[in-house]
Chain A
């Protein structure tokens, strides 16, 4: 069973039409993360693309996909996916971190917006510093690596 075009226009997802539960989505994401950690980026990307097709509203799936394509050497596509995740969950700390990493993943001399990209990433990372969790520590480490604001 697939959503009709009218259902798609209304934002209804394949997961909702097929009764695809959250636990299954989480398990698929877990498998993809494991494949990515093992270095099988193509497999991980395929799984995650399937997941975002099934539920395009899963911000974590988009964030994971952003990480995978960034590691696969497509930093610009990583920004697009990170922005999609950020649209869905603008307050999610992980998504903010992934988005900042995506912006930092583009070489500074690519295009004309290098300083702006760093500025966007810095703003996101600075919002993550408080919290005491691993995300905060990662953000703090990235900020230290970026150095003081020029």
Chain B
């Protein structure tokens, strides 16, 4: 069987090219010699293999050009920034209070928005990860073939077929794919989704739950189950957890701080107004 099949694929120019390309690009790949002779290439390590010693990649030097980046004022003292009104002699105290109120309000608004974004990233994203295989599939497809890009357009009308193809993969492979495309946070969801999908397919085929899961990958189950046990006590993204309540309390604290600031400025303005009115009344 191998001989017949091999006639279809030998010589395999693409794989030979892989060998040649590996040596040409300095990769330390050891590739088969199709004549049966062992062929070991000794060269530098491959930059694409993270387990290799970190001695190989050539260091590309470059010189920083501060002017080219346009610069940023983040982290520097902003004497002419949003607080400059405090040293402006042309402004009255009322104007300064109003400007102070506006500036502090903007700062607290920004803090509040940041906290809400943090909450969304931590807990809403965790909820999205529970959407199952289709949520994962959508995320992966959006990452590999972002909407509006030429890649997405090149696969116009074929994305559903690609989704069908991805459904044939096992959980660990999907998790690996998520890691490879830069979405390692989706890897646990992929493991779970792959396992549940394999079970669903097995049930649909009448294979039963045990055989269906074991046929796809027994390691999937062990990885998922033990991994879940390990992280169930340490995860910080669970809805309803103490951490989530703490995040909500933090948001609530910021809102109260904003209210306090308004009350403070309002009281100060009121006392200034009362003082002025008292003076005017005394003059009358």
A residues engaging B (CB < 8 A)?
A: 2-6, 8-11, 13, 15-16, 20-23, 25-27, 29-31, 33-34, 36-40, 49, 52-53, 55-60, 62-64, 67, 71, 74, 76-77, 79-81, 83-85, 87-89, 92-95, 97-98, 101, 103, 106, 110-113, 116-117, 119-120, 131, 133-135, 138
Contact = CB atoms under 8 A, between A and B. Distances in A.
A84 B184 contact: no
A60 B45 CA distance: 13
Nearest to A141: B13
A133 B21 CA distance: 7
Interface residues of B, number: 77
Given A53-B172, A113-B155, A120-B150, A60 B46 contact: yes
Contact of A55 (B18, B50, B158): B50
Given A33-B31, A39-B8, A89-B47, 19 more contacts: A4-B231, A5-B235, A6-B234, A8-B188, A9-B185, A11-B179, A33-B32, A34-B34, A37-B15, A37-B34, A39-B1, A56-B176, A56-B179, A60-B48, A71-B9, A87-B180, A87-B181, A92-B47, A94-B17
A2 B222 contact: yes
Interface of chain B, main secondary structure: helix
B18 A9 contact: no
B19 to A, nearest CB: 8
A79 to B, nearest CB: 7
A113 B162 contact: no
B176 A53 contact: yes
A63 B31 CA distance: 14
Contacts of B179: 8, 11, 13, 56-57
B181 A37 contact: no
What are the 9 A-B residue pairs with the smallest beta carbon separation, nearest first? A39-B5, A56-B176, A111-B157, A134-B20, A112-B156, A59-B48, A116-B154, A56-B179, A113-B154
B14 interface: yes
B282 to A, nearest CB: 70
Nearest to A53: B172
B154 A103 contact: yes
A55 B235 CA distance: 24
B150 A60 contact: no
B239 interface: no
A11 to B, nearest CB: 4
Contacts of B173: 49, 52-53
